[in-house]
Chain A
Amino acid sequence: MNSKEFFAEVAARAELTPKEAQTMASTLALTIADNLNEGDSFSVQGFGNFEVKKKMERIMVNPTTKQRHLVPPKLAISFKMSNVLKDKLQQP
């Protein structure tokens, strides 16, 4: 399911236009980013858990050139699905 199909489907269910759905999706992303600090999580029942994790700085070696790079620390979002979703998807 690509983006177009997805927004069309969401729009149909939430009684919005696809365009509205798209802007709201990006607003959702923005609010998640705004409200989640390091270590915070956003859990959707029956779906899963979004968590902001801090990745520490590390030294990376380019395998071909053997150059070493210092990779700075960063924040990344991770997702873990809930068991409910797991069971649902397991059923054919």
Chain B
Amino acid sequence: MSRKILPAELVEIIARNEGITKKKSEAFMRAFFEVVEEGLRTDSFVKIKGFGTFKLVNVSERESVNISTGERFQISGHTKVSFLPDTAFKDLINRPFSHFETILIPDSTTQEELDAISEAPIEEAEEAPEAPEVVEVISESVATTTSSVTLESNTETPVFPNIAQTSEEDNVEETPIHLEEKEVESTEESLIEDVKIESLQSHETTLEATEVTEISPNNTMTPTPVEDTATIPQQPLEETVPTTECQQQLHISSTPIDSTENEMNSTDNNNKSKNSRTLMWGILWIISLIIAYLAGYHRIIPLDADFHNEEVTEVNVASVSTDTLQVATDTLATATDTLTTSSPINLLPAGADTLSVIRGIDKATAEKLAQGQPQVKVGSFLIIGTFRKHTMRSGDTLFKLARSVYGHKDYVKYIILYNQFPNPDNVYIGTEILLPQLVEKEECAG
């Protein structure tokens, strides 16, 4: 690094730059320092314009100690030459750093902050890992709400962890993107989806009527423990939403006749409940009490009608859903295996995308439930490629698109599955949508 430059080198450079002979340049160099020396001796200072000032400074005698012997001795007073470069020379030397300027530090800055300036990049990285913590907190709180219903039906429980897992993954992936305030919201959403999905999934597999009668009394229990845990300061928002969602499900099941309308209402309420949650909360609580009463009623009277059967399974599902959240967190590892079994379509990608897929199926099945149609179309088609592209215009919906292209709105789930929307409920105008080419499974196999 450090290099020692001798006058000879500079003599050459000066000669080249000035266009004079080397000899002249050398003579100048020698004269320069000789004159400085002489000037110091005569006047004790030499001022050179464009270079600096040499000055003689007296150093007074002082006492010092010999380090090895400890002996005291005098350092005799002498003179030394100090050199002060003038401003022009100073600036020339400092050219590489000349863009720096002195900054006034605000009074609010503490010493710790100044020390931490060099470690700034590390601080940024520390913010991200907070998201999984939130998820853990939620899962723990849900775990505490578990009632005695846990693992009543063995056939269904393996299905649920996988759903809960996707929701957790969803949390983890979403939260770093949003700000910390939004973490709460995203977890809310995922929980809502959980409950929704679980209820519908379990409805597909359809519980035995006998089981239902056993479980249904517990239904009245499950919403209340959830409320209790809400005393933990961080979690009221997260807790109340799932329960309201449960009750919405219950509400739908209790009036299956005009369920198409209710379905629409409930989805609308999802959005509105964020704003006017307290109002909804009161209404839904009353409805849940009525349903709880009905559930108890059905336990006494034997179940024969299909209508009642369906209703109570819905009720049961709501209670199970809170339990399965706990189960889900416990058995995350086994979740991937059950992923394929939970939904009939094999093209499931991992992570947050599965959530959108499941959500799509969930919506489609919900539609079917509302119409009372058999679930024949679910998973009976395979996507074999892109049929054509469509750009979303104002007024377009995925349902409309599915109906016009495939003849039925249920095909929307294939569109959602194929396009992997971050949020299929909110597809922006101008988004290019790939319409999948579908082939019937039997046909494909044949």
Contact = CB atoms under 8 A, between A and B. Distances in A.
Interface of A: 1-3, 5-7, 9-10, 13-16, 21-48, 50, 52, 59-60, 67-79, 81, 85-86, 88-90
- A interface SS class: mixed
B17 interface: yes
B372 interface: no
8 A-B pairs closest in CB distance = A72-B100, A79-B83, A1-B39, A33-B92, A13-B31, A39-B2, A26-B50, A3-B49
A16 B33 contact: no
Interface in B78-102: 78-83, 85, 88-90, 92-97, 100-102
22 contacts: A1-B45, A9-B38, A10-B35, A24-B14, A25-B48, A27-B14, A27-B17, A29-B92, A32-B93, A33-B92, A37-B3, A39-B3, A40-B2, A42-B4, A45-B7, A47-B33, A52-B93, A69-B103, A69-B104, A70-B102, A73-B100, A85-B81
B89 A33 contact: yes
Contact of B24 (A14, A48, A81, A90): A14
A79 B41 contact: no
A16 B212 CA distance: 114
B428 interface: no
B81 to A, nearest CB: 4
Contacts of B47: 1-3, 6
Interface of B: 1-7, 9-10, 13-14, 17-18, 24-25, 27-43, 45-51, 54, 56, 78-83, 85, 88-90, 92-97, 100-105, 107, 109, 114
A70 B1 contact: no
B109 to A, nearest CB: 8
Nearest to A89: B79
B104 A31 contact: no
Contacts of B3: 37, 39-41
Given A36-B5, A77-B85, A14 B49 contact: no
A68 B78 contact: no
